[in-house]
Amino acid sequence: MKRAGFLWLPLIRFANKRTKNIRALRRAGIWFYLTLVRTNVFLPPPRVILLSPPKSGTHLLSDCLALMPRMMFSGRRLALPEFYATSKPNSGQSDPSKAARTLDENRIRRYLGGCPQGMFVTTHARFHPSLRDLIRELEFKQILLLRDPRDVVVSNMFFTKDQPDVQYHKYYSEVLNTDEERIMATIRGFGQHTVTDHPRASIREMFEGYTPWLEDPSTLVIRFEDLIGPRGGGVSRKQLDEIKRIADFVERPISKEHAQQLAQNMYSRGSLTYRKGIIGDWQNHFTEDHRRVFKQVAGDILIRLGYEKNTDW
């Protein structure tokens, strides 16, 4: 079981790439995986939930966990807007006011409760007190993954521009003419438009939805920059320290040698949403105007998250 993740994870990556544009095959693959999950009922606790803003490196952290001994992905991705008790917004909407909406706690309890022990759920859920209470009630361990918001802007821009099925793609491809305009729109956010019914939150509003998780002492905070390792511009020592810290947190302690093997296997271009996976790519794309506007919109967020000491960057 210890080496199982090293064997099946590359197969999943290969299948993802091969079936990316073949929905019937992807559905069959998902069905097969979920069937496999249901047969693994003897894994030891805990259950884990991975929290992260979009485009922060969720696949990297998921691979790290999936490669841990006796740990699997549950196949469950919690999309919080689908569980609002009031009117259901579009699943990609980033309306900052939604954090105050009432959740259907019974439905979320059933959904999260369906995650077996020894498995993890992923989510881009913003902080909500009801969700926090349910995570505690169901005895999940929670990990928050953070990434430099400037890199999140660039990654989000390219992802939205390049993926036709993604919300806002039409706006980015038909209304905005250059990557410079698209980056600016991702920083500032925008309101409703004739080609999109849903406003996009600014980068500040996005991250403000996650900062309350930092105040919960039961949250393990992991940074993309520490986890990515040398192939993404990081430091090997920090990567190994983070891997071992995660392993201890989810009660799967591993040796340094195992951590090194895991580090070699978890960085992959096989993810469907992979583009570059490097630190500081924003410096290759931000203009002086982007820097100026970002400081106005979210300069204090960078300082609060520890990515800058001041606005002199």
Give me the mean pLDDT over the 149-164 stretch: 96
309 belongs to a structural domain: no
Q: How many domains would you assign to the chain?
A: 1
232: containing domain: 4-304
84-133 pLDDT, tens per residue? 986 544 434 444 444 458 999 999 999 999 999 999 999 999 999 999 99
Whether residue 65 lies inside any domain: the answer is: yes
The dihedrals phi and psi of 161, each to the nearest 5 degrees, come to -70, -35
Is 217 among the domain residues? yes
Nearest residue to 79 via CA among 129, 149, 126, 120:
126
In a domain, 70, yes or no: yes
Tell me the pLDDT tens digit for each residue of 24-74: 554 555 555 555 656 666 799 999 999 999 999 999 999 999 999 999 999
For Cα atoms 208, 210, 214, give the angle at the middle one, nearest 5 degrees: 110
Q: Which residue has the higher pLDDT, 20 or 183?
A: 183
Q: Answer yes or no: is 209 within a domain.
A: yes
In a domain, 291, yes or no: yes
Q: Which long-range contacts (CB under 8 A, 24 or more apart) does 158-161 make?
A: 158/275, 159/55, 159/273, 159/275, 160/186
First to last CA, the chain: 47
> The whole model's pTM is what?
0.84
Alpha helices in the chain (DSSP H): 4-18, 23-39, 58-66, 105-113, 129-137, 149-162, 169-170, 179-188, 203-208, 211-214, 224-227, 236-249, 256-266, 288-304
| CATH number of the domain where residue 157 is located | 3.40.50.300
Q: Is residue 311 part of a domain?
A: no
